[in-house]
Structure 1
Amino acid sequence: MSAPSGENEFLYELKIEVEEEVILVGESHLEEAADLPITDWLFDPTDAEREEIGLRGLLDAVEALEGDSRPGEHGTANA
């Protein structure tokens, strides 16, 4: 990951925040929570899994935008 510069600063900071959220969701031990009785749940494991999927999609989008905004890469396809 490169250091932020000008217009990329927002994307850089957003990427850091989303990565931190993905780590937090990953550390929530969804499998263990699903094994508990429903009355002991602090969160719904299915909702947490949906949140992780959404965060990973957002992270992919931020990375794609970062790639599109790098100098010298305009007009190239990111496959």
Structure 2
Amino acid sequence: MRYEMYIELRGSDLTRAMLERGDEKVWCAISDESDKQAITDLTCNDFMAHIVAFEDGFFYCTGGMQWLHAVPAKIIPMTFM
């Protein structure tokens, strides 16, 4: 018998796993405080970034900035019915 273990990943852990499997750009809500802060502090327009790497304990975005927390987010266009 073959047993497989499934681990549910969330938040910054999921972003790290996505980068490790080869994803090149991951849209993320970002913060230096916590995953929770990343998804709840939605002021201005600077809470999202394309994350391209995780090195030395930091997530790096396409602009070269470093972040401690990066939570993957799905961006979809809104429609009006």
Specify the TM-score bucket, using the shorter chain as the normaliser. Answer: under 0.3
Task: Please tell me whether Structure 1 or Structure 2 has the larger radius of gyration of its CA atoms.
Answer: 1
Q: If the length of structure 2 is used for normalisation, what is the TM-score?
A: 0.26
Structure number with higher helix proportion: 1
Structure with higher strand content: 2
TM-score, reference length from structure 1: 0.26
